[in-house]
Structure formats: C-alpha cells, structure tokens
Chains A and B, each alone.
Chain A
Amino acid sequence: MDNFTLPLTGGLLLGLSAIWLLFSMGRIAGISGIAWGSLAGPDRGWRLLFLAGLALGGFATHWLIGQPIPEESNAPLWVIIASGLLVGWGTRMGGGCTSGHGVCGLGRRSPRSLVATVTFMALGILTVLVMQAVSGATL
C-alpha cells in the first residue's frame, strides 16, 4: 500500500463525516464539544449516537477490515495525565480541537478557527521539540 493512500482516504472520510453532519443536522463535527456535551448536555442524544458511531468505525477498521491495532503509548504516566488535563482544559477553553477548529472551522473559513489551528499546531511541534531535547539530555 502506498504510504499516503490510507491517510488520504481517512482524511477524505473525516471531511465527509463533517459535511454529512452539517448537511443533515446543521451541527459541527467537533469531537471535544461532542464528547463534553455527551456527558453534560444539552442534547445528549445525538452526541452519544455520534460516539457510538465513532466506536463502530474503529471496530470496522480493525476487526472487519483487519488493519493492525496501534501500539500503546510508551509515555510515562505523568505525561499522559498532564496531556489529558491540558487537552481537556484547552479544548473547552478554546472552543474546539483538531476536528472542530481544524476540519470544520477551516471549511467555514472561520478566522477564529484558523488562528486556533495555527496556534495548536505550532505548540504541538514546539512541545515535541522540547520533550526531545529534555529526554535527549537525560538519556
């Protein structure tokens, strides 16, 4: 398999998912918002259905199509916890994540989403650089 065929196919499916949700229900396919709303409401119903579909999609990829399951992250526990807290805090504060701002927001040509996407991409790159430097120094 070409090493870009699956990523591109997956990307097109993500775009299609966002378009379908907007076209059918008028909603933004932003996962952080959907995840929080599925617990806290309002309108928990459609959000829970979306998450059920998300699980079905993953199930289909690995157990029907047979694509190998990725390995577990080898990051230390404190990194995982800090990462989760920051991702949860940051996405709620900033009103979206990779999907809501990146995929949907850029599609709507939202200046807010463009600023958010550039910002979190830059900080993601910077964080990896810093972590590499820190772990390189301690090895």
Chain B
Amino acid sequence: MTSWPALISGLLFGLGLTLSGMSDPSKVLGFLNITGDWIPDLIFVMGGAVIVTVLVTPWVLRRSSPLLASSFSLPAAQTLDKRLVGGAVLFGIGWGLSGYCPGPALVSLLYGYDTTIIFCLAMFAGMYLQGRLSRS
C-alpha cells in the first residue's frame, strides 16, 4: 500500500493545529467557556475546516477509487446507538476538563511539557481499557 501521502496529510494537519492555536489548551477552554471571556477562535478553525470538507468531500467520493489505493475505507456504521452517544458524552467531558482533544495533545508533545505527556499516556490507557472492557 502506498503510504507516503499520509506524511503530507499529517504535515498539513500539524501545521493547521498549531497555526490555528488549537494546541493551546487555554484557548480551547476559552472557546468552550461561553458564559465567560469567550474566545471565538475555534469557530474559525472548525468553520474553515468544515467548509473545505463539506464542499470537496462529495466530489472526492464520486470517484470510483482513491488516487493511490484500491478503495475508500469509510466507517461502516450507519445507525445512531448508545456507544456513539455515550462515547461522545465521555469525550466531551474529558475535552472540557483540560482543553485537550487527541490531535492537539499529540502535537503538543513537541513542547516537552509533563502535563501533555501524562495526558497522552492517560489517553492511550483509556483507549486500551475501553477495548478490553467492551470485549469481555
């Protein structure tokens, strides 16, 4: 499988997260804090990203296959279920506690802060535990 395009995608993603200020948890918390000193930055980040994907994704998916792979790998699930909503609830609470979601947390490892390293270890532990407990 051709993998190099993922490097370019990651590079663009890392640039986007850090240029936009998403890798600053205080900015993210300032955005979620709608009753306080609201920081609107994330509207532009999410808005800019979603405008691009909403406009271009249908055009991409009209192709019979991706440029460098045999088929599109899209999520199979279509129905709304408790796992989806429950997962989003827990993720939202975790996000609101620190201001970190997975992308910004991972790119922030570059800064060498203890809190980011601990967050990422806890995040991977959470992913591992979820897989273990949902299988049993």
Contact = CB atoms under 8 A, between A and B. Distances in A.
A95 B87 contact: yes
Contacts of B111: 69-70, 72
Contacts of A17: 9-13, 16
B48 A70 contact: no
Chain B interface mostly helix, strand, loop or mixed? helix
B97 A54 contact: no
A25 B103 contact: no
A6 B100 contact: no
A128 B49 CA distance: 24
A54 B11 contact: yes
Query: Which of under 10, 10 to 19, 20 to 34, or 35 or more describes the interface residues of B?
Result: 35 or more
Nearest to A89: B126
Contacts of B24: 70-71
A29 B25 CA distance: 21
B110 A62 contact: yes
B15 A22 contact: no
A111 interface: yes
Listed residue (B47, B61, B107, B134) with the most chain A CB atoms within 10 angstroms of its CB: B107
Closest CB pairs A-B (n = 6): A57-B14, A94-B87, A53-B10, A10-B20, A11-B48, A88-B126
